[in-house]
Amino acid sequence: MLSPSCSCRLGLTSADPCRRRRREGGGCGPAPPSAGSPSPASVGPSSSDDEMEEAAAETLLRGGDEEGSMRARFEREIRRVQAEVCAALEAVEEVAGAGAGGRFREDSWTRPGGGGGGISRVMQGGAVFEKAAVSVSVVYGVMPPDAYRAARPDAAAAAAGGGGGGGVGEKAGPVPFFAAGVSSVIHPRNPFAPTLHFNYRYFETEAPKDAPGAPRQWWFGGGTDLTPSYIIEEDINHFHSVQKQACDKFDPTFYPRFKKWCDDYFYIKHRGERRGVGGIFFDDLNDYDQETLLNFATDSVIPAYIPIIERRKDTPFTEEHKAWQQLRRGRYVEFNLVYDRGTTFGLKTGGRIESILVSLPLTARWEYDHVIFEMP
């Protein structure tokens, strides 16, 4: 039995060598081997002065960051993930005969003055994927205290100085920061194929300007979650099984903790319902060594999602099915614009608007006083 995903049912990574072809419509090709909160891939402070480039730089890091630093290793990891996910989606489109519409366009941008930059890859008009975005960014900047609190909800509690992640008090001045991440949202055409969202990020803050001598603080965050329009138990079980396996490799407590965190985070308060069927979500994670956290969960995206797409992309559907998908996408838009911490952080820090809003679906729908009914 297929049923609409109403609120009562929803409790439940190195540089890509093909980047120079993307703007001319070339595909990703094989992914290169690995070299080693808000999602920074979408929210890095930016402005209308950002410079667009024809090809991505070999690195988005500043010259002073060492090759073996966590900043450099994390950049290599997120660019590897970006390349591999794009290649996997393009492979699905190639089998479907999508042609140029099933390939990613790449936009590379940099911030003036050595403030970092990003690489946005977006597919629109594919045969299988109506819209898909996989973005990375490496950003340096200074954020006001209220933006810090948006990025780090436990900042006030940590203001007294405790905890590995540390905090900035309510009266602290502007906070220098480094943020790097990969973020993706994938919206398929078929109403029976679910939307996928994932992001993984690394965040560092220096001492606030009015607190010299304070130590550098760091944390990881991220997650992967699934948002179907129709509940199909086989797909949900597969998705959660892959997430659990990824978590269990590192710590058997991760999955139950991060699953609950995901359920609590992706909640649309004004609707009284969850956005999707969950997954894993974590933030402010710094109680493990950096090397362990660097490799956590980034390789679970493709095996969790592509088998579901292969099963559902050709499922027959009607106009009524499509209309329901559009209504559910409306809920997706509501959550992202009202509650998502990445979007809030990006808007407060003057983020690059195309990157902030790239997660939104190509189309969505709102109806007045819509009544949910069971589909046969």
Active site amino acids: 197
Dihedral of CA 317/319/322/323: which sign? negative
CA 278 to chain CA centroid, Å, is 14
Q: In DSSP terms, which residues pair with 53 in a beta bridge?
A: 108
Give the Cα separation of 342 and 39 in Å (integer): 5
Give the Cα separation of 240 and 58 in Å (integer): 35
Give, as one character, the DSSP assignment of residue 287: S
Q: Which helix (H) or strand (E) holds 22?
A: helix 19-22
Two tokens at 235?
């797909």
Pairing status of strand 267-268 against strand 273-274: antiparallel
Give the Cα separation of 247 and 297 in Å (integer): 7
Pairing status of strand 3-4 against strand 230-231: antiparallel
